[in-house]
Structure 1
Amino acid sequence: MSTKPDLRNQVALVTGGTSGIGRETALKLAEYGASVAIVGRNRKRGRKVAKEIEARNGDGWAELYVGDLASKDNVRNLAAEFEDRHDRLDLLVNNAGTFRHQRSETVDGIEATFAINHLAPFLLTHLLIDLLVESAPARVVTTTSELHENGTIDFADLERERDYEDMAAYSQSKLANVLFTDELARRLDGTGVTATTANPGFVPETAFTREASIRGRLTLGLFSILPLPFTKSVEEGAETVIRAAASPEYDGVTGEYFSDGDVAESSDESHDAEVRKRLWDVSAGFVGISPDSLDF
């Protein structure tokens, strides 16, 4: 970044913040002075990261929220607990994600890839939006993937019950991230809250593929140690997320897709207004909220 961000007195919440891209993002935001709350499933690892955050952010604080975002109740509890503790939120980074080799369902009976990668950030953002608006200028950044370009939103089978294929399910969820963000940016216009997506690139070291097949995990492990031109380290991948989240040069930038550290062009389908609006309405039904709850 040409100018180092000054995030002192700002509050950030990073999901999936105990490892990989999320951890690196949380630590960098702390280095810029932000107080950072992280969300993860592993309490021991989370406490360690929280201590690292506190060692970096001067007068700021660090918090750990332990929970599984596969559960709608857990997402609601997270939002409620955060709001009970804090009167501001300047930055929400929806980073938690998963890749499932085999089809599985959450405790709510929803296909896990769609639920965790799309519905969880959709619901969490809705629940925290009033706090973000009250703290404006504020930002919402959702981690997506270049694989969104291969995705398609199959409204007839969003949960992939007929024919589950891991890459198709993942690509659909990442396209959903971009569509959600574009619609969110439109609805938040004039509030001072911006919404963007960030593609960290192919980072084989991340833990999001813990549910992948044994062959897939072995392949990714090999990629992580070979000097391949299309792979990135965790630090390199997180840089795009961090720039979207904190760079002063992107103040006020909304509805954009970031890749390789800058604004880029997302897929043609991600710009389909009809699909974007329909996905918003369907997603609201999945999580039990009004599709008009963010009409400011």
Structure 2
Amino acid sequence: MDLWTFVLAFLIFIVLLLAGLKIYFDAGKGVCHSNADLTGKTVLITGANAGIGYYTALDIARRNARVILACRSQEKGLVAMKQIQESTGNKNIVVREVDLSLMASVKKFAEKILREEAHLDILINNAGVAGIPKMMTAEGFETVYATNHFGPFLLTNLLLDLLKKSAPSRIVNVSSIGHKFGSIEFDNLKAEKWYSKMYFYGNTKLANILFTRELARRLEGTGVSCYVLHPGAVGTDLFRDMPFYMRIPTMYFNYYICKTPEQGAQTSIYCAVSEEVEGKSGKYYMDCRESDELSPKAQDDAVAKKLWEISEFYLNEGGFLH
């Protein structure tokens, strides 16, 4: 075998190997196969103008639901609304502005929803932030905890009566496998003692799961079900800002292992519409199936109850819950 034949054979081998890896990793990425039609249903999705929130909204719109895009930026929300309407033909898409890091904004938003909407069939708490420096809101909350936990907790509670009235209805909370790195420190929920970008993100994702467990317990018999999920590792464009020597491996990691935002939306969609999750309120999902990959901390019902109570206390203290 001459050199060029060897090089050609080696390149063919590499191409086939990479193609095989792509097929292997894609096979494990869950897909929602439900054909559920949502005609006559109203679905509210936070953070719906980009990423997995956008693709969740796009799929829900294709199912003929009325979709409320709850976005921090009205301008970006309107762009997403137009794209979804053009792509699906569904004109029953509206944008409502809300900043989940500010409880006053959440309360004002919820009051508007209660005035405007006769029913709410599905609430998807999708929006979240990560990797930002420590910042305190004007209301005294740390921004990551406010956006990822206190905001969704408040929004859900303010809309509970409407969800109960609309039963059978669902609440879907987007968490992360990053919850395994988290802990609940009741004396540091407002970053009173310390702050870390990575650990606080994990703390809030753990809080999402504990919130869902306690919520499921409190909603027993109401006809309202709730689910929490890990969307998977979703590829980003972060490699564009990396040094050249890191861009190539990161690009390959994103392409072969990470999910696209559309793939990342599948488990949210599954929990929102699939018939398979009925009767499984409070459960944790990955790749469109129930998962037991929960840390022991995420299964502590005593901590879940206490987290609910202290969250209520902080929000009542600010006059936001009532």
TM-score, normalised via structure 2 length = 0.82
Please state how far the C-alpha of 1:43 moved relative to its aligned partner: 2.1
Per the alignment, residue 175 of structure 1 pairs with 206
Alignment of 1:1-296 (within 5 A): 1-55=32-86, 61-205=92-236, 223=250, 226-227=253-254, 229-265=256-292, 266-288=294-316
What amino acid is aligned across from residue 234 of structure 1 in structure 2?
P
What amino acid is aligned across from residue 48 of structure 1 in structure 2?
V
Please state how far the C-alpha of 1:67 moved relative to its aligned partner: 2.3
**Is the Cα contact below 8 Å between 2:213 and 2:301 reproduced in 1?**
no
Please state how far the C-alpha of 1:228 moved relative to its aligned partner: 5.5
TM-score, normalised via structure 1 length = 0.89
What amino acid is aligned across from residue 232 of structure 1 in structure 2?
K
Between 1:91-100 and 1:151-160, the stretch displaced more is 151-160
Please state how far the C-alpha of 1:116 moved relative to its aligned partner: 0.6
Deviation per CA, 1:220-248, whole angstroms, max 9, x where unpaired? Answer: 99746644554211011111111011112
**Is the Cα contact below 8 Å between 1:79 and 1:124 reproduced in 2?**
yes
Q: Kindly tell me: are residues 278 and 227 of structure 1, through their superposed partners in 2, closer, same or farther at Cα, counting changes over 3 Å?
A: closer
Please state which structure has a larger fraction of its residues in helix: 2
What amino acid is aligned across from residue 78 of structure 1 in structure 2?
F
**Is the Cα contact below 8 Å between 1:223 and 1:231 reproduced in 2?**
no
Unaligned stretches of 5+ residues in structure 2: 1-31
**Is the Cα contact below 8 Å between 2:141 and 2:190 reproduced in 1?**
yes
What amino acid is aligned across from residue 115 of structure 1 in structure 2?
A
> Identity of aligned pairs, percent?
36
Q: Kindly tell me: are residues 106 and 31 of structure 1, through their superposed partners in 2, closer, same or farther at Cα, counting changes over 3 Å?
A: same
Between 1:49-58 and 1:228-237, the stretch displaced more is 49-58
Q: Which has the larger radius of gyration?
A: 2
SS in 2 for 1:129: helix
**Is the Cα contact below 8 Å between 1:113 and 1:170 reproduced in 2?**
yes
**Is the Cα contact below 8 Å between 1:36 and 1:53 reproduced in 2?**
no
Partners in 2 of 1:220 and 1:135 — Cα distance?
48
Unaligned stretches of 5+ residues in structure 1: none
**Is the Cα contact below 8 Å between 2:229 and 2:285 reproduced in 1?**
yes
Partners in 2 of 1:179 and 1:112 — Cα distance?
19
**Is the Cα contact below 8 Å between 2:62 and 2:90 reproduced in 1?**
no
